[in-house]
Structures are given as structure tokens and as C-alpha cells.
Structure 1
Amino acid sequence: MRINSFFKLVEIQTKLASVIPFSLGVIYSVYRFKSFNLNNFILMFISLITFDMATTAINNYFDYKRAVKKHGYNYELHNAIVKYSLKESAVIITISLLLLCAVTFGFLLYLNTNILVLILGVISFAVGIFYTYGPLPISRMPLGEVFSGIFMGFVIVFLAVYINAGEGLMNLEYINGILTLNMNLKEIIYIFLYSVPTINCIANVMLANNICDIEDDKENKRYTLPIYVGKENALKIFKALYYLIYIDLVILILLRVVPVVSIITLLTIILVKGNIKQFFKIQTKKDTFALSVKNMIIVNVTQIIAIGSAIAFTL
């Protein structure tokens, strides 16, 4: 398999959906807890990125296997297996190697941390695999936005903070037959609020994708959220999720969870609002789907820069 076909199979450009929440978690750990663990950083990053590539490849493989519609933009150009005439055996081997790498580095991360990381990792891996695999994949139900938003937008951020900040956030202990879970509830709530922009942006990438694919999904029997609620309601949800981000950012600044300089992130509403307006005019993969990805980058990278600058000024 050539490198260009491999990148298309794993949709390398979409890996930002993993890298951004991971980066946000790491930088939050440094800012709020003054803590960074290089070994854990490397182990989680490799496990995360290879698993993300594996799940994307699985998604493309099963879309290829289950496709009812054999002609059209999404099938002939969007799916790498068709576009590059990839052998099924090569695709399966690639997926297996990526999963092996992800599991190996994930297990090494557990050995370097504790059982809680293993539990959250196993649950996340299961959700990632069953997102596209099984008799009723999550991606073929109106739950894709919820699962992708929570697990990629919050769980990744939380784990990135946890592996760097230590067990002060949450600790699971089993002593004399008693299982005890200790949580710093305030800090966990703060991390969730901090994750809302990522949760909503990632959910909207999925939602935009499903809005663009409504007709094809109907033919391929993918009953996504826009099919259940209708395009108009799906567009309203799309807009509302973005505006909730800015309400959340104001709360974060007022609670001093993030530095005051994060106020610059509020200014991104100008660009995001313009992109929302464009998306409302036309919803296609070719013309406007990328706007949801741009919004994710605009909001979250600005937040990373803001917090990074606050860290730099305290050094």
C-alpha cells in the first residue's frame, strides 16, 4: 500500500480531532497543575493516533462492504478502498497492525500509570471499534455525535490531564475487599467545562458530515441524527452547539479555570458565525463540510495559543 493511499484510508487530515483535545489536555495540566510527564505524553500520543487511524480505516472498510449505493461522490471518490483499488487483505492487515500498535502503547501507558487509565482506555477502544463494527454500529444510529463528542472531546482531554497531573484528580483503590473511588469533583467538573468547546466542535464535525450525507445515508440505510430530526432541526442543533461554546468560555474565564487572556478565544465567534452562515446556504461534502473542521481549528487552536501564552509569561 502506497503512502498516499494509506493516508486516504486513515483520512490523515481528520486526526486533528484527536490531536487537538490531546493538546488541550496536556496544556491544561501544565497551566493548572504545573505538571507534565514526557514518557506518558509519548505513550498516549502514539496509542491515540494509531487507534484513531485504525478506527477510520475500519469505518472506510465497512462502508465499502455495506454500501448499497455503488455510484456517486461519496462511494467512488471519498472511500480510499474504491479510489485506489486496494486489496481487502491489505486493508485488514493495515487495520490489524494499527490496532496492535495502539493496544501495545496503551498497555505500556497503563503500566506507567494505574488501573483507572486501563479502564478508561478499554472503554474508549470499545466505543471506537463498535462505532463502525457490529450488527448495529453507533455510526449508523442517531448517537454518533454524542459518542464522538464525549469520548473524543472529553475523555481524551481528561486522560491527557490525568496522565500528567497524577492521581490527585481521581483514584481507584481495592483494599480488603472494598473498592473505593476517590474524586476531586470540583476539578473534574472544571475539566468537563474546559472540554465543552472540543466536545461541541467534534460533535458538529460529525453532524455536518451526516447533514451532507443525508440522501446517501438513506440509500445505504444509515439512520443518523439528521435523518431522525430532519435537516432543518439538525442545522439548528449545529448552530446552537457553537453558541454554547461561547457561553461556556465566559463561565470558564469568570471561574478563573482558564487565564484571562483566553478572552481572545471569544473573538473567534466572528469567524465561526461567518462559517455557520455559509454552511446554512449549502450542505455538501465538496463545498462546505470543511467549514466544521475549520471551526474546530479556529476555536481550539486559539484556546491553546491563549493558555500557552499565559504559561510562557509565568516562566
Structure 2
Amino acid sequence: MQQTIKADTGWRIWWQLTRPHTLTAAFAPVFLGTMIALTYGDVHFLLFIAMLSASLLIQMATNMFNEYYDFVRGLDTEHSVGIGGTIVRNGVKAKTVLNIALTFYAIAIIIGVYICMQTSWMLAIVGLISMLIGYLYTGGPYPIAYTPFGELVSGFVMGMLLILIAFYIQTGTVTTEAVLISVPSMLLVAAIMMSNNIRDLEGDKEGGRKTLAILVGRNNAISILSAFFIVSYLWIIVLIITGQLTPWSLLVFLSVAKPIKAIATFRKHTLPLEVMPAMKNTAVTNTLFGLLLGIGILIGYLL
């Protein structure tokens, strides 16, 4: 049966263009990195807000580059499932989408200059490389998103690296502890990308992509997604046992129902529209996990 896609109107067009379910991949790591830094000393609130704002802008711009280049390469049609396809479904001009993305990058650079002025100009290099990766994820002649390395790159940049930058701007250093605590975030951001690629597997095949989900097959891709979830939760237990975290970090297990539902949905359904709840639960897992871990760290520090 043909799936009917209802087009958004008004402000919803622009909101959906940012792909809001992915924005948690920018918020949760910055919050977590800042909470880890709190255990080392005072937190500078303005730097936290600046880092969060820049991260959200870069994530939104990356999503818009994705929208633009998927349209240019003919991967999005008016029948595409999900919140992509704004250009083909809602009549937004492709050039407008590209210009908005570039504007967000420009604002992020301005915020980045402030952060560098308050901390270190070495961050300028890291920030520019991150922005370049955000563009090359779907832009350029060899988009990262079209390769088997999409999960690895997005997980490292939007998961681990964001935590470490947020930690660095507060402490002026990067510690082994911060790196270890950032591993689950890296895996859960990778999980968001994997869930997207599982949903779009057949369409991506037709579009010539060679994502990890395509190379290993749907069932194996779901198994890898399960592994991302399992390792993330087990990692916290190991860090507690080794004394890197307090038992309050077990709060992350309050989110465990979400990944279980995500995997169950992917196993039961195959149509893109039917697995949309699984994608949402994967994104929510990343958000709740990061927030709960940050709160657990905060409580452990206060007590």
C-alpha cells in the first residue's frame, strides 16, 4: 500500500528543516562534558551557553547540507519518508536551504571566536575541522554519509569530541576520565545514524550509497545497533566498578526501555514509515542517557 506523506506548512517547514530529533546529539554531549568539568572546578555559564549554541547551529547546518545534497543528488522525492525532503515536498528553494546552512555556520564561527578568546585559539583548528566534517558528511564529491564510515565519524565528532571540547573550555585540559566517560555518547550518536540508515536502507541502495547498514545487511545492522546500546550501558557499570564514576551514574538505566523498544520495532517492522518510532526512541535514548549521566555525576559531586 502506498504511504501518504502529509506536507508541513508555515513555521513547521522551517522547524522540520532543522531535523529536531537529531539536535539532541548536540545538546546531550555538551551538557555531559560540562557536568564532568564541574567535578574539577567552577563552571563558566556563559562558555557553556556559547558552546551549546555553536553546537546546535553546526548540527542544524549539517542537517541542512544533508537536505540540500540529498535533493541535488536526487535521493529525496515528494514520497520520501521522514522529515527530510523539505525541498521537494514543501517548495523551499534549494539555494535558500544552502544559504541558511552557511549563515548558521557563520554565526557559529562568531561564537567560536568568543570561546577561543576566553580559552585557547587551538580550539579554532578543532572547530573548523569539525565544521568541515559536518559539510563533507553529505557534501563534496565523496560524502561521508554515503560510506560505511558515517556512524564512526558522526559518533566521534558529535559524541566524544563535543564532550571533550565542552570539558576543555571549562578546565583547560583533557583527562583520561573525560575520554572514558565520553565513549557511550560516541556510541549513542552513532546509533542515531545507524537507525537512520536502517530505515533508509532500500532507498539508499537505489541512490548508490554504500552505508554500513547496506554492506552488512538489515539484520546484522540491527544487531550492531543493539551492540551500541548494550556496550553503552555496560560501559557505565565498568566505570563505576573501576571508580571512575559513582553509583549515582546508574541513573542512566532509567532510559533503558527506549533502546529496547527501538530494537523491537526494527525487528518487527521493515517499512520506513513503520520504523519511525524506532528512530525516535534511538534519539531519545541519546538524550536521556546523556542527561541522566550528567545528573548522576552532578549528584555524586554534590554528595
Question: Structure 2 length as normaliser, TM-score?
Answer: 0.89
Give the match for residue 199 of structure 1: 186
Q: Which piece of structure 1 moves more, 252-261 or 129-138?
A: 252-261
SS in 1 for 2:47: helix
Give the match for residue 228 of structure 1: 215
CA distance in 1, matches of 2:100, 2:68: 11
Given the alignment, which residue of 49, 55, 71 partners 1:42?
49
Aligned-pair distance for 1:151? 0.7
- Measured at CA, do residues 66 and 36 of structure 1 come closer, stay the same or move farther in structure 2, by a change above 3 Å? same
CA distance in 2, matches of 1:310, 1:53: 33
Given the alignment, which residue of 263, 287, 294 partners 1:297?
287
Aligned pairs for 1:53-72 within 5 A: 53-68=60-75, 70=77, 72=79
* Count of matched residue pairs: 292
Query: Gaps (5+ residues) in structure 1?
Result: 170-186
Given the alignment, which residue of 94, 101, 119 partners 1:113?
119
Q: Which piece of structure 1 moves more, 203-212 or 2-11?
A: 2-11
* Maintained 8 Å contact 1:69/1:219: no
* Maintained 8 Å contact 1:9/1:57: yes
- Measured at CA, do residues 51 and 274 of structure 1 come closer, stay the same or move farther in structure 2, by a change above 3 Å? closer
Aligned-pair distance for 1:110? 1.4
Aligned-pair distance for 1:271? 4.8
CA distance in 1, matches of 2:214, 2:244: 38
Aligned pairs for 1:38-187 within 5 A: 38-68=45-75, 70=77, 72-74=79-81, 78-167=84-173, 169=174, 187=175
What whole-Å deviation, never above 9, does each CA across 1:189-245 have from its counterpart, x for those lacking one?
322221122111111110011011111001111211111111122111111111111
SS in 1 for 2:81: helix
CA distance in 2, matches of 1:68, 1:269: 34
Give the match for residue 260 of structure 2: 273
CA distance in 2, matches of 1:273, 1:103: 39
CA distance in 2, matches of 1:70, 1:132: 17
CA distance in 1, matches of 2:22, 2:101: 17
Aligned-pair distance for 1:307? 2.2
Q: Which piece of structure 1 moves more, 229-238 or 128-137?
A: 229-238
Given the alignment, which residue of 4, 21, 26 partners 1:18?
26
- Identity within the alignment, %: 27
The alignment status of 1:286 with 2:273, answered yes or no, reads yes
Give the match for residue 238 of structure 1: 225
CA distance in 2, matches of 1:246, 1:51: 28
CA distance in 2, matches of 1:245, 1:157: 15
Give the match for residue 190 of structure 1: 177
Given the alignment, which residue of 6, 18, 36 partners 1:28?
36
- Measured at CA, do residues 90 and 266 of structure 1 come closer, stay the same or move farther in structure 2, by a change above 3 Å? closer
- Measured at CA, do residues 69 and 194 of structure 1 come closer, stay the same or move farther in structure 2, by a change above 3 Å? closer
* Maintained 8 Å contact 2:76/2:88: no
CA distance in 2, matches of 1:250, 1:15: 27
* Maintained 8 Å contact 1:50/1:99: yes
- Measured at CA, do residues 275 and 87 of structure 1 come closer, stay the same or move farther in structure 2, by a change above 3 Å? closer
Q: Which piece of structure 1 moves more, 156-165 or 276-285?
A: 276-285
Aligned-pair distance for 1:267? 5.2
Give the match for residue 3 of structure 2: none
Query: Gaps (5+ residues) in structure 2?
Result: 1-8
Question: Structure 1 length as normaliser, TM-score?
Answer: 0.86
**Counterpart amino acid of 1:215?**
E
* Maintained 8 Å contact 1:213/1:284: no
